[in-house]
Amino acid sequence: MPAHTFDLAVVGGGIIGLAHALAAVRVGKRVAVIERDVRANGASIRNFGFITVTGQERGDSWRLARRTRDLWAEVAPKAGIAVAHRGLMLTARSPEAMAVIDAFLKTEMGEGCRLMTPDTFRKDAHGLGGSDLQGALFSPHELRVESRDAIPALAAWLKEARGVTFFTETVVFDAMPPRLHTSRGVIEAGAVVVCPGDDFVTLYPEHIAGYGLRKCRLSMLKLASPGFRLPSALMSDLSLTRYRGYAALPEARALEAKLRAEQPAHYDNGVHLIVVQGADDGLVVGDSHHYDHLPGPFAPAEAEHAILDEYARSLGRAAPPVLERWTGIYAVADDRTYLIDAPQENVRLVIVTSGTGASTGFGIAERVINDLFDLEGRVA
Ligand SMILES: Cc1cc2nc3c(=O)[nH]c(=O)nc-3n(C[C@H](O)[C@H](O)[C@H](O)COP(=O)(O)OP(=O)(O)OC[C@H]3O[C@@H](n4cnc5c(N)ncnc54)[C@H](O)[C@@H]3O)c2cc1C
């Protein structure tokens, strides 16, 4: 048997590739991951590491997020990944925002969530909250990891504890089992999962083109420690019109009309607020959304100002100093949150198209691997 023969080759070492590697080793497959860079350097290490259940699109995405959250909870301690936050508090500044939260809590997605009064929010959150705070949604379902550390740690654990072979600084030029042609020679594998993130042109470009994907560039900030530990991740009113689990509720229409009128720069730059905290107490804060076929590297300063403005409005305090700035890019489709294509019998192409890969990737990968190896119903 050639040295490089695997049951499964995964192209892409981001979270979606690693999720497929994990799902395959859990059912006993010999797995290789092939990654262009020396380690993952794309969306997967640039995100908030916010494994979000509450707010995901109702139905499939919400269920995938619950499964993905459970798998993160299981794998993180084994891989030495610290869970920096649990839960979410989403503040509301207007009756319209409170109406969306009330409506959300009446759906099945509200299970386990509750309404916080301004006083309980302030008590739990070090007195944060502007003078116009009306209340907050609390969700216990979320986890938060520091992605820049968690993704390399997950890859190292898959390699050392689960026997996954990594080929890094290796580009796959074509992926047609039983052979993949790479910049370092041929790798043999019975099946392939291609997880290319926002690379739409190297592998199966004609299949990807059929989905009409675009790209989204996001601006992110790391802020200095605020001097205390946040009890959970924080979000605010704008998120109620962006996250599909809330935004699809009829009550979100009035809120969006109000916020668009009051905060046009935030909508022009696709800004909403997520605040999470790291082990060093620094805050990761974002984000903005600019859509294009080639978003380019030039992030408008207005987007950053809008993010910091929303921080001050919702938390009632000026933001701590900015320590780092970066951008990230992910794939976007107008009509789906992810795609699974089968360009050949033993090949799957998997792209998350809604900026939710850390939150849904493990669940999607389990589904793909079960289908690829015909394992429906088998529990690893
Ligand atoms: C700023 C930002 C914030 C976000 N926040 C969150 C969040 O908090 N929660 C959440 O759930 N989601 C979040 N997302 C979305 C999430 O990060 C993405 O959905 C997810 O990372 C996509 O993972 P991926 O593995 O598909 O892509 P990537 O991380 O881009 O990885 C793809 C990898 O494939 C490699 N590759 C591609 N083609 C080849 C080839 N031919 N040969 C070899 N290697 C190849 C690339 O080098 C790359 O490393 C955020 C995204 C961004 C940008």
Confidence of residue 380 (pLDDT cuts 50, 70, 90): very low
Beta bridge partners of 136: 91, 116
Query: Ligand 1 centre from 197 Cα, in Å?
Result: 5
- Whose C-alpha lies nearest to ligand 1, atom 27? 197
71 in Cβ contact with 362 (< 8 Å): yes
Does residue 258 register a pLDDT over 60? yes
Residues found in the chain: 380
Query: Ligand 1 centre from 42 Cα, in Å?
Result: 5
Query: Ligand 1 centre from 43 Cα, in Å?
Result: 4
Does residue 68 register a pLDDT over 50? yes
Query: Ligand 1 centre from 198 Cα, in Å?
Result: 7
Tracing tokens 């015909």 back to the chain, one arrives at: 374
For ligand 1, mutation pick of 330, 341, 359 (most atoms within 8 Å of CB): 330
Non-local (6+) Cβ contacts of 377 within 8 A are none
- Whose C-alpha lies nearest to ligand 1, atom 16? 357
Environment class of 315 (CB within 10 Å of its CB; exposed 0-12, middle 13-18, buried 19+): buried
Does residue 377 register a pLDDT over 60? no
Does residue 120 register a pLDDT over 90? yes
- Name residues contacting ligand 1 (CB within 6 A): 11-17, 34-37, 40, 42-44, 46-50, 52, 171-172, 195-199, 202-203, 218, 220, 287, 328-330, 352, 355-359
- Whose C-alpha lies nearest to ligand 1, atom 6? 47
Written as one string, the DSSP assignment of 252-303 is HHHHHHHHHHH-HHHHHTT---EEEE-TTS-EEEE---EEESS--S---HHH
Tracing tokens 């797995």 back to the chain, one arrives at: 31
Helix%, strand%, coil% for the chain, nearest 5: 35, 30, 40
- Whose C-alpha lies nearest to ligand 1, atom 22? 357
The pLDDT, as a whole number, for residue 353 is 98
The pLDDT, as a whole number, for residue 293 is 92
Strand 5-11, strand 185-194: pairing: parallel
The pLDDT, as a whole number, for residue 376 is 66
- Whose C-alpha lies nearest to ligand 1, atom 25? 14
Helical ranges in 114-168 per DSSP H? 118-124, 147-160
Share of the chain above pLDDT 90, in %: 97
352 in Cβ contact with 329 (< 8 Å): no
Written as one string, the DSSP assignment of 12-58 is --SHHHHHHHHHHHHTT--EEEE-SSSS--SHHHHS--EE--TTSPT
Q: Which atom of ligand 1 is nearest to the CA of 171?
A: 42
Does residue 204 register a pLDDT over 60? yes
- Whose C-alpha lies nearest to ligand 1, atom 31? 14
Confidence of residue 270 (pLDDT cuts 50, 70, 90): very high
- Whose C-alpha lies nearest to ligand 1, atom 37? 196
**pTM higher than 0.85:** yes
Rounded to an integer, what distance in angstroms lies between the CA atom of residue 313 and that of residue 323? 21
Confidence of residue 2 (pLDDT cuts 50, 70, 90): low
Q: Which atom of ligand 1 is nearest to the CA of 220?
A: 1
164 in Cβ contact with 31 (< 8 Å): yes
181 in Cβ contact with 256 (< 8 Å): no
List, for residues 223-252, the tens digit of each pLDDT value: 999 999 999 999 999 999 999 999 999 999
Non-local (6+) Cβ contacts of 298 within 8 A are none
109 in Cβ contact with 67 (< 8 Å): no
Query: Ligand 1 centre from 219 Cα, in Å?
Result: 15
Backbone angles phi, psi at 82, to 5 degrees: -80, 135
Non-local (6+) Cβ contacts of 127 within 8 A are none
Confidence of residue 375 (pLDDT cuts 50, 70, 90): confident
Query: Ligand 1 centre from 228 Cα, in Å?
Result: 31
Among residues 311, 345, 92, the alpha carbon closest in space to that of 222 is found at 311
